[in-house]
Amino acid sequence: AQSVTQLDSQVPVFEEAPVELRCNYSSSVSVYLFWYVQYPNQGLQLLLKYLSGSTLVKGINGFEAEFNKSQTSFHLRKPSVHISDTAEYFCAVSDDSGYALNFGKGTSLLVTP
């Protein structure tokens, strides 16, 4: 079964600093990879997705991610974070059926002044 591992449970960072949230996946077949953001007491919002093609994927709010097949990684990056980026970030992979999303345990990004 396809799964993802988010290596950091919490990432504290200062405002305007760059950030990288790490995600590794395990799969024996083609994968579809996603990053979602969840603000407190809200649902999940799609940041970006990798389906095929270019390995560098750009998303909303200035985030981007790079699909690296050899390292089985899909790390999320932002060159300069804002206080408003404070949230929980989930990496997810689409399972073999194409329906269910298997989520990582999440990374809590805390941006401080």
Partner 1 sequence: DAMVIQNPRYQVTQFGKPVTLSCSQTLNHNVMYWYQQKSSQAPKLLFHYYDKDFNNEADTPDNFQSRRPNTSFCFLDIRSPGLGDAAMYLCATSREERGYNEQFFGPGTRLTVL
- Nearest CA to 74 out of 84, 85, 66 is that of 66
CB of 18 to partner 1, least distance (A): 25
Candidate ranges 12-20, 65-73, 76-84, 99-107; the one touching partner 1 (CB under 8 A): 99-107
* Residue 104 within binding range of partner 1, rule CB under 8 A: yes
CA dihedral in degrees (74, 96, 39, 110; nearest 10)?
-30
How far is 10 from 86, CA to CA, in rounded Å? 11
The site for partner 1 (CB under 8 A) is made up of: 32, 34, 36, 41-46, 49, 51, 90, 94, 98-101, 103-106
